[in-house]
A and B are shown apart, each in its own frame.
Chain A
Amino acid sequence: MITPFRSPRLRSVNRTVLLGLTGAGLFLASLDAYVVVTALLPMLKSVNIAVNRPEQATPIITGFLLGYLAIMPLAGGLSDRFGRLRLFAACLVLFAFGSFLTATAPSLAQLVTGRVLQGAGGGALVPAVLALAADLYPTGDRSPVLGAVSALQEIGSVLGPLWGGLITASAFGWTWIFWINIPAAALLLWALWPEVRAGGEERRPANLDWFGALLATAGLSLLTLALYAATPEESPVGEGIIWQLPLALLCFVLFVWHERRTPHPLINVRRFRDSSFTGSALTNAIAGAGLMVALVYIPVLANAVFSMNASSAALLLFRLMLGIPVGALLGGFLAQRLRSYRLVAALGLVLAATGFLLLSGWNEGSLTPHLLGSPLTVADAELLLTGFGLGLEIAPVSAALLDAVGDTERGAGASFLIVMRLVGMLVGFSLVAGFSLWEFHRVTAHLIPPLPGLNPNFATQYAIYVLKVKQAIFDEYHLIFRATAIALFVGALLAGLTLRPLPRPRWR
């Protein structure tokens, strides 16, 4: 929970500069949140992993999310105890070290370790910068500043895949996505160092729920392992699911038990009795899963079957990402205007689900037809619609959850929103990755490739084989997008049934 407190020294320095520098660090980290989605294949190649073993890319994505989730709930309390700027500096160093490990990785293990550390460093920056902003600005002026910090993070996330794609396709190559973080982080630290060293920030003892955080992280790690299909030709989930899943559930049960008893819980679990709180939390997770599917699978589809390079794939995804901020702005406005969270949230999720259904009809010629003679293609419109829908639900779902927790727990509620979105991303992506690859292997189990040798018909047979493989890849993607659409329809239903209407304005 973010609790502002007075810090005379911080107030005496130029707060715009201070917030600008820490905001730049947050932007740097948020760029890297989804940056790998357009660089996955070259990253795998550089650690000698073949393109037909994409399951090995899963931990590169889930590792970052896990690192982020592990540290984020504690970061607010840590910034209370050690100071916002000290925590910021430490996390920026951790983020830069994770970037170094990722850029120099000779093996998948180091690549994943680097991403976990990047996630942990980057995850803690969000509450640290938000809390710093709350310290620097008084109550009346705080709201637009907090909004600007959150927007900075969202913009970074949206631009990340494009940034990654452009660097990967350039002569520099994918490692420069991460190399560039090191001088940038060093420059920020250098600029902030006098303030960090002066230690003028107010600090106070904070009750950190280490045990709760440990249980939650252990549960999520075990769940991720249980869902990770390391050999998708044999199983859509992990080999150890039989013991990992029950153990994960036990960790979650213990977490709830502990949170009910501890005086300073990470999350007030009693709130789950409120259907509006639970509904908005679950809806948020489902929307996170939908966003993650789009983020990962659109660039890979562009690369695998439309033969696009990393920058073209990033530009294709960017059409969807553009729709998100537009939808987000309109969602807030509409919810206020119509005085209904449930209607706007459900509408957004239905639009996103419809977008995914349209994407599930893509084939080799889907990127060319133009929309009613306009410069936009039909595919552009479908991607924009999907992103727009995913954006539209953000404001009403977030507002419904924050209304449900009330003024006193608003900070914790805001963190919980991010946590639930990331949990949705983590679980949704893990499930989709395993089941889709398992389905691909099932469909192609008897599709034996022709071999050159003395085969006089090799060229023809090979061309037919390539066509069949492409069709199987399309079928796999159709399944992924349809499953995502169904999940989003369920989310729409959930939002429609559970979210409470807006509270009446107090002046009435």
Chain B
Amino acid sequence: MHAGVSPSRGLAAGLAIIISVSSCGAPTPDAATLLKQSSQRMLGLSGFHFQMQISGFTGTDEPVQSAQGDAHPPALHARVNLKEGAILLEVEVIFATGDIYLKSFTGGWQKLTPDEVAQFFDARTLFDPQVGLFAAMRDTTAAARGNAEKVNGHETYPIAGQVSAGRMHQLLTLIRDQGSYQATYWIESQGSDLWRARLTGNLFDAAKPATITFDFSNHDHPVSVTPPPLG
């Protein structure tokens, strides 16, 4: 007579299988897939907070030093620090419904013409689905995943790769469009949120390096950007 499997032994075997499968987990996607997933995720969010910092040699024509604000791509509302000679000036920028609005040192909001926008900071391109930072993520080549790192308390994978200078030039028009630049993205292992992006290279001068760092937080926190009242 064939002896049946005892219930306790069956339960133990079942548990062992569950534990071993769950401990193996799903394999981590490759770097290119992670970049695509994260790009999609960031463009699909209902909003996030961002900080952008430019360091290194920025030349005399690049006035932007840093920016921070909230975005619901491509719309955004940011405070931007501009270098004006030896001093820093803060302006407020809104990009909503296809137009750019500026609030400067004094006075209320004014709507800028495309020509005026080109003078200092084209906020339209920053998170544009076709040419912005998240689009550049998809176009990153030679991407490789590094060891897990904590960024702002979140477990992330740093993905390093190359972005063509032409692509970067679309992001900020004062960036030189020759060669390619180093890009690193810190993507959360669970959920694909992008927490940090760093673009490095001779961005504003053929011989001198500069770095642009983006830090993101408040992922999927709803952000609504509307045109401000003028005047």
Is A48 in contact with B66, judged by CB distance below 8 angstroms? yes
Is A142 close to B, CB under 8 A? Answer: no
Measured CB to CB, the closest approach of chain B to A458, in angstroms, equals: 10
Is B22 close to A, CB under 8 A? Answer: no
Some 13 contacts from A to B, beta carbons below 8 A apart, are A41-B87, A44-B88, A45-B87, A45-B88, A48-B53, A48-B65, A50-B82, A50-B87, A51-B87, A51-B89, A451-B119, A453-B116, A454-B113
Q: How far is the CA of A44 from the CA of B90 in the complex (A)?
A: 12
Measured CB to CB, the closest approach of chain B to A201, in angstroms, equals: 47
Is A446 in contact with B105, judged by CB distance below 8 angstroms? no
Is B81 close to A, CB under 8 A? Answer: yes
A448 and B65 contact, Cβ closer than 8 Å, known pairs A50-B89, A51-B88, A453-B115: no
Is B88 in contact with A50, judged by CB distance below 8 angstroms? yes
Q: Which 7 A-B pairs have the closest CB atoms?
A: A50-B90, A448-B107, A444-B106, A453-B116, A447-B106, A50-B88, A453-B115
Q: Which residues between 49 and 74 of chain B lie within 8 Å of chain A, taking CB atoms?
A: 53, 65-66
Number of A-B residue pairs at CB separation under 8 A: 59
B106 neighbours in A (Cβ, 8 Å): 444-445, 447-449, 469, 472
Q: How far is the CA of A445 from the CA of B90 in the complex (A)?
A: 16
A49 neighbours in B (Cβ, 8 Å): 88
A53 neighbours in B (Cβ, 8 Å): 90
Measured CB to CB, the closest approach of chain A to B106, in angstroms, equals: 4
Is B110 in contact with A448, judged by CB distance below 8 angstroms? yes
Residue of A nearest to B68 (CB): A48
A446 neighbours in B (Cβ, 8 Å): 107-108, 231
Is A452 close to B, CB under 8 A? Answer: yes
Is A14 close to B, CB under 8 A? Answer: no
B119 neighbours in A (Cβ, 8 Å): 451-453
Is B152 close to A, CB under 8 A? Answer: no
B115 neighbours in A (Cβ, 8 Å): 453-454
Measured CB to CB, the closest approach of chain A to B84, in angstroms, equals: 8
Is A52 in contact with B116, judged by CB distance below 8 angstroms? no
Q: Which residues between 44 and 85 of chain A lie within 8 Å of chain B, taking CB atoms?
A: 44-45, 48-53
Is A444 in contact with B107, judged by CB distance below 8 angstroms? yes
Chain A interface (Cβ < 8 Å from any Cβ of B) = 41, 44-45, 48-53, 444-449, 451-454, 469, 472
Q: How far is the CA of A447 from the CA of B110 in the complex (A)?
A: 11
A444 neighbours in B (Cβ, 8 Å): 106-107
B110 neighbours in A (Cβ, 8 Å): 448, 451
Is B46 close to A, CB under 8 A? Answer: no
Is A448 in contact with B87, judged by CB distance below 8 angstroms? no
Is B88 in contact with A445, judged by CB distance below 8 angstroms? no
Measured CB to CB, the closest approach of chain B to A314, in angstroms, equals: 18
Is B218 close to A, CB under 8 A? Answer: no
Measured CB to CB, the closest approach of chain B to A78, in angstroms, equals: 38
Residue of A nearest to B66 (CB): A48
Is B224 close to A, CB under 8 A? Answer: no
Measured CB to CB, the closest approach of chain B to A230, in angstroms, equals: 13
Measured CB to CB, the closest approach of chain B to A158, in angstroms, equals: 29
Residue of A nearest to B87 (CB): A51
Is B116 in contact with A445, judged by CB distance below 8 angstroms? no
A52 neighbours in B (Cβ, 8 Å): 89-90, 105
A41 neighbours in B (Cβ, 8 Å): 87
Contact with A along B86-107 (1 / 0, CB 8 A): 0111100000000000101111
B231 neighbours in A (Cβ, 8 Å): 446, 448
B102 neighbours in A (Cβ, 8 Å): 451
Is B16 close to A, CB under 8 A? Answer: no
Is B13 close to A, CB under 8 A? Answer: no
Measured CB to CB, the closest approach of chain A to B89, in angstroms, equals: 5
Residue of B88, B89, B105, B116 near A451 (CB, 8 A) is B116
Residue of B81, B87, B108 near A48 (CB, 8 A) is B81
Is B116 in contact with A448, judged by CB distance below 8 angstroms? no
Is B108 in contact with A50, judged by CB distance below 8 angstroms? no
Is B112 close to A, CB under 8 A? Answer: yes
Query: Which of B88, B106, B231 has the largest count of A CB atoms less than 10 A from its CB?
Result: B106
Measured CB to CB, the closest approach of chain B to A450, in angstroms, equals: 10
A452 neighbours in B (Cβ, 8 Å): 116, 119
Residue of B nearest to A303 (CB): B87
Q: A50-B88, A53-B90, A451-B112 are in contact. List 15 more A-B contacts (CB 8 A).
A: A48-B81, A48-B88, A50-B81, A50-B82, A51-B88, A52-B90, A444-B106, A444-B107, A446-B231, A448-B104, A448-B106, A448-B110, A451-B116, A452-B116, A453-B119
Q: How far is the CA of A63 from the CA of B113 in the complex (A)?
A: 43
Is B107 in contact with A445, judged by CB distance below 8 angstroms? yes
Residue of A nearest to B107 (CB): A448
Measured CB to CB, the closest approach of chain B to A334, in angstroms, equals: 46
Is A449 in contact with B107, judged by CB distance below 8 angstroms? yes
Residue of B nearest to A440 (CB): B106
Measured CB to CB, the closest approach of chain A to B226, in angstroms, equals: 18
Q: How far is the CA of A447 from the CA of B105 in the complex (A)?
A: 9
A445 and B108 contact, Cβ closer than 8 Å, known pairs A51-B89, A53-B90: yes
Measured CB to CB, the closest approach of chain A to B141, in angstroms, equals: 33
Q: How far is the CA of A50 from the CA of B89 in the complex (A)?
A: 5
Q: How far is the CA of A325 from the CA of B193 in the complex (A)?
A: 62
Is A447 in contact with B87, judged by CB distance below 8 angstroms? no
Q: How far is the CA of A453 from the CA of B79 in the complex (A)?
A: 21
Residue of B nearest to A233 (CB): B103
B87 neighbours in A (Cβ, 8 Å): 41, 45, 50-51
Q: How far is the CA of A472 from the CA of B106 in the complex (A)?
A: 10
Is A453 in contact with B90, judged by CB distance below 8 angstroms? no
Q: How far is the CA of A449 from the CA of B105 in the complex (A)?
A: 8
Q: How far is the CA of A45 from the CA of B88 in the complex (A)?
A: 7
